[in-house]
């Protein structure tokens, strides 16, 4: 399958995200991964705003490539290609986040739009549930969706209920739980689908 390598876009995007937050966060005096959000690293006026934006554009491209890879995999297996659109939608959201740095109101809008992309594990689990050869992918997708759902609840909690000072002091970690859940899923599932994709001679890579 000629689009096979695109399935590793999920892993690439994850590596870029982790490297970006760690290296650029370390370049900001006093920045705390525990207290502060990822967006605060590249907010307007930040000394690392430009490299942050470039990195997030790369993540956006990686997620787009991953989505194309998922779609090509689904077509080759003659199964639903719907998950590909949800995966690719996250790339669009990340691009918006990169182009409109915090505190721009569009930054938050694009951030909220990423909810569509975060539903990808659920869509995979439901759309491909009748595929015996993808049982492990489906199981991992259910687990990832459960983690994403819990994380989304934690992240949105301040909009609906009063939160403690301790919650606010650890909001950076709370926000990162959704990144770990979703991008971890992209990495693992991307590699699994890559291994199950046919190579040049038509045989399975496994």
Cis peptide before 103 (omega within 30 of 0): yes
198: burial class by Cβ within 10 Å (0-12, 13-18, 19+)?
middle
Q: What confidence score (pLDDT) does residue 201 get?
A: 38
Per residue of the chain (206 residues), give pLDDT as tens: 578 999 999 999 999 999 999 999 999 999 999 999 999 999 999 999 999 999 999 999 999 999 999 999 999 999 999 999 999 999 999 999 999 999 999 999 999 999 999 999 999 999 999 999 999 999 999 999 999 999 999 887 776 666 677 877 889 999 999 999 999 999 999 999 999 987 653 444 43
Measured between alpha carbons, how far is 183 from 165 in angstroms, rounded to an integer? 28
Q: What confidence score (pLDDT) does residue 152 get?
A: 92
The residue among 119, 99, 120 whose CA lies nearest residue 110 is 99
Cβ distance 118 to 153 under 8 Å? no
Cβ distance 188 to 198 under 8 Å? no
Measured between alpha carbons, how far is 53 from 55 in angstroms, rounded to an integer? 5
Q: How far, in whole angstroms, is CA 63 from its chain's centroid?
A: 7
């Amino acid at each position: 399958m000629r689009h096979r390598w695109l399935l590793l876009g999920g892993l690439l995007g994850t590596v870029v995200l982790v490297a970006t937050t760690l290296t650029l966060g370390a370049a900001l005096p006093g920045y705390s991964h525990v207290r502060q959000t990822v967006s605060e690293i590249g907010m307007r006026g930040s000394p690392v705003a430009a490299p942050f934006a470039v990195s997030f554009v790369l993540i956006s491209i990686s997620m787009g490539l991953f989505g194309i890879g998922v779609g090509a995999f689904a077509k080759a297996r003659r199964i639903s290609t719907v998950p590909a659109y949800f995966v690719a939608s996250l790339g669009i959201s990340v691009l918006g986040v990169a182009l409109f740095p915090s505190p721009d109101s569009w930054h938050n809008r694009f951030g909220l739009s990423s909810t569509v992309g975060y539903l990808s594990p659920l869509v995979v689990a439901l759309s491909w549930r009748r595929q015996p050869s993808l049982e492990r992918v489906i199981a991992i997708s259910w687990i990832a969706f459960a983690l994403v759902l819990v994380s989304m609840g934690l992240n949105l909690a301040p909009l609906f209920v009063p939160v403690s000072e301790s919650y606010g002091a650890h909001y950076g970690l709370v926000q990162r739980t959704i990144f770990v859940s979703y991008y971890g899923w992209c990495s693992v599932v991307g590699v699994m689908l890559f291994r199950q994709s046919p190579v040049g001679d038509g045989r399975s890579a496994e």
